Structure 1
Amino acid sequence: MGFASQVVLFSLGLFAGILLFVELGRRVGIAHLAREGRGLTKGAEAAEGAVFGLLALLIAFTFFGAASRFDDRRRLVADEANAIGTAYLRLDLLPADAQPELRALFRRYLEARLVTYRNVEDRVATAARLGSDAALQRQIWLKAVSACKRVETPGPAMTLMVTSLTEMFDITDTRVAATRNHPPRVVYWLLGSLCLIAGLLVGYATSRNPDRSWLHMFVFATILSLTVYVTIEIEYPRMGLIRVDSADQALVDLRDQLR
């Protein structure tokens, strides 16, 4: 089962669980009213406020963090395209006979980078593609350094070329680190648990009403489960339905320019 299907099933399960806990809380409240006859537990508002406050804080924390990392990953793709483009332009500083082979390697490298994160769910294939990228980096580095060491290459050209190459290579490590930068899974389990507890408290608080408000129950469950779903989706933007693939257009445009 793919990641996208897992997230959808988790969100649907959370939706059903919230409805179930709302109903459970309502029945507990009705039983309490029938047994005590004095109304619901006094002072429960403080506990409810604490739970809902914690739930709001956790939702804000996870959603803001996921959105921030989503933007960072899009920015890194643009940064890599800029780094590759700058290094490619600086090939003009090298001897003319060394440029064609390096330009061909750059085009191969750019094509490889475009497919590196195409299917990150297949970790073995992704690791193999990253290894191929590293091999191409090594070839580019050796060819460029060899050309920089030639007598006819100006000294400043070597400095500019080496700086561009190191920036171009370093961004790949930064992107790998960004794909692995996620909060612990226990945070999402805690978020789901708080959603269920919140449903329990809502059902208990509304048990004094003689009739169920299905509209409020469904809206409450939908909003919470949908928020959790979107948060998880943007936290893993290369695996689900909400994707960061549109950012790769910067690399595609650069590839078209280098042809």
Structure 2
Amino acid sequence: MDYALTSLIALMLFLGMLVFLEAGRRIGNRRLANDAEGARTGTGAIKGAVFALLGLLIAFTFSGAASRFDTRRNLVVEEVNAIGTAYLRLGLLPTDAQPALRDLFRRYVDSRMEIYRKLPNVEAAKAELVRSTQLQEEIWTQAMAAGRMEGAPPPATMLLLPALNQMIDITTTRAMATQLHPPTIIFALLFGLALASALLAGYGMAGGTSRNWLHMIGFAAVMAVAVYVIIDIEYPRLGLIRVDAFDQVLADLLTGMK
């Protein structure tokens, strides 16, 4: 979900809430004209329940999005630590085998950075991910061969291979983390509850001689901004709220390898 689509959803919600506020106000005015005493009977409990559910859903989705955002940032650091540990353990291998492996590591880190640089171009990112996977296989194959070279200390592969395995595994974890989102029905329910609350709020504003534009626009704008922020945090590589700053640790790691 890119920036343009998120903005469009927020704009549609804003406009939709204004329409529902006005519709609720007109319905309320008709009810007051036909039954002034009974028009508002029992509406307070209904409004309270709907607004409470809306608030609960906003809190739930925002908390979940923020938690997943933190997880994705932490995974960047975990990957850097895994790569850094594996790179240091290359020193256990015979000296002749180290230059080629170190060069592969530098290319690998550059490829990992390039994957996320190419977003939101998903196809380009997937193509780069294939290249990273190929580099992983080359690193693993050469590390295995180096461990069997004459003069290689027995503990070399025992220490290096688990570090390489962790370095490879974290890429799958990060890839799955980027695809971990709430079901679409959750966002649809949030959207629907926002519109329902606008309808009920508009009904409660009935009876005045003029529209209270400040409250109507303010209510719609606050809800639209809240939904926009939730979606933006949920997709931190595609919107305004991003985790790109944490990629700097990968860049620093690459600089340290040269």
TM-score range, shorter chain: over 0.9
Matching of residues 189-208 of structure 1 within 5 Å: 189-208=188-207
Q: Deviations over 1:167-221 (max 9, x none)?
A: 1000000001001111122211211111011000001012133332221112111
**Aligned partner of 1:106: which letter?**
F
Q: Which residue of 1 aligns with 2:185?
A: 186
**Aligned partner of 1:193: which letter?**
G
Q: Which residue of 2 aligns with 1:214?
A: 213
**Equivalents in 2 of 1:208, 1:93: separation in Å?**
81
Q: Which residue of 1 aligns with 2:243?
A: 244
The answer as to whether partners of 1:119 and 1:238 remain within 8 angstroms in 2 is: no
**Equivalents in 2 of 1:63, 1:119: separation in Å?**
27
**Aligned partner of 1:48: which letter?**
K
- What SS does the corresponding residue of 1:177 show, helix, strand or coil? helix
**Equivalents in 1 of 2:122, 2:3: separation in Å?**
16
Q: Which residue of 2 aligns with 1:163?
A: 162
Q: Which residue of 2 aligns with 1:59?
A: 58
**The 10-residue stretch of structure 1 (89-98 or 208-217) with the greater mean CA deviation from structure 2:** 208-217
State yes or no: 1:17 paired with 2:10. Answer: no
Following superposition, the deviation at residue 127 of structure 1 comes to 1.8
Give unmatched runs, 5+ long, in structure 2. none
**Equivalents in 2 of 1:97, 1:119: separation in Å?**
35
Q: Which residue of 1 aligns with 2:141?
A: 142
Q: Deviations over 1:39-92 (max 9, x none)?
A: 523112221111111111111111111111111111111111111111111111
Q: Which residue of 2 aligns with 1:106?
A: 105
Matching of residues 6-85 of structure 1 within 5 Å: 6-85=5-84
Q: Deviations over 1:94-150 (max 9, x none)?
A: 100000000000000000000112233333222211111110000000101111122
**Equivalents in 1 of 2:36, 2:174: separation in Å?**
62
Q: Which residue of 2 aligns with 1:115?
A: 114
- What SS does the corresponding residue of 2:209 show, helix, strand or coil? coil
Following superposition, the deviation at residue 229 of structure 1 comes to 0.2
**Equivalents in 1 of 2:201, 2:116: separation in Å?**
43
**Equivalents in 1 of 2:120, 2:109: separation in Å?**
21
**Aligned partner of 2:192: which letter?**
S
Q: Which residue of 2 aligns with 1:154?
A: 153
Following superposition, the deviation at residue 37 of structure 1 comes to 2.5
**Equivalents in 1 of 2:38, 2:210: separation in Å?**
16
The answer as to whether partners of 1:81 and 1:251 remain within 8 angstroms in 2 is: yes
The answer as to whether partners of 1:119 and 1:239 remain within 8 angstroms in 2 is: no
Indicate the RMSD between aligned Cα atoms, in angstroms.
1.3
- What SS does the corresponding residue of 1:221 show, helix, strand or coil? helix
**Equivalents in 2 of 1:184, 1:223: separation in Å?**
23
Q: Deviations over 1:207-239 (max 9, x none)?
A: 133332221112111111000000001101111
Give unmatched runs, 5+ long, in structure 1. none
Q: Which residue of 2 aligns with 1:230?
A: 229
**Equivalents in 1 of 2:39, 2:118: separation in Å?**
53
TM-score with structure 1 setting the length: 0.96
